[in-house]
């Protein structure tokens, strides 16, 4: 099952990612778990960029 932070990052939902990460930190979720989800999201973004789904302008705006 994909982590919600990972999905939001892959979807370039910056504000939603920030809100969810803050909520998870407040709830005591392990920081390394949050960072791993963020890293997976960035891998997803890279894959979508390589496939031509995202363009530089999409990434700059995110």
> Could you read off the pLDDT of 18-42 as tens digits, one per residue?
999 999 999 999 999 999 999 999 9
Whole-number pLDDT of residue 61: 76
Residue-number span of the structural domain to which 51 is assigned = 4-61
**Is-contact 13 1, C-beta < 8 A?**
no
d(CA 62, CA 60): 5
What pTM was computed for the model?
0.84
Please provide the average confidence, as pLDDT, over all residues in the chain: 92
Whole-number pLDDT of residue 12: 92
Q: Which of 5-14, 29-38, 47-56 has the lowest mean pLDDT?
A: 47-56
**Is-contact 20 8, C-beta < 8 A?**
yes
* Number of domains the chain contains: 1
Whole-number pLDDT of residue 59: 80
């Amino acid at each position: 099952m994909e982590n919600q932070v990972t999905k939001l990052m892959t979807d370039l939902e910056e504000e939603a990612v920030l809100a969810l990460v803050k909520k998870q930190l407040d709830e005591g979720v392990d920081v390394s778990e949050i960072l791993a989800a963020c890293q997976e999201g960035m891998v997803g973004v890279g894959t979508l960029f390589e496939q031509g789904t995202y363009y530089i302008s999409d990434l700059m705006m995110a």
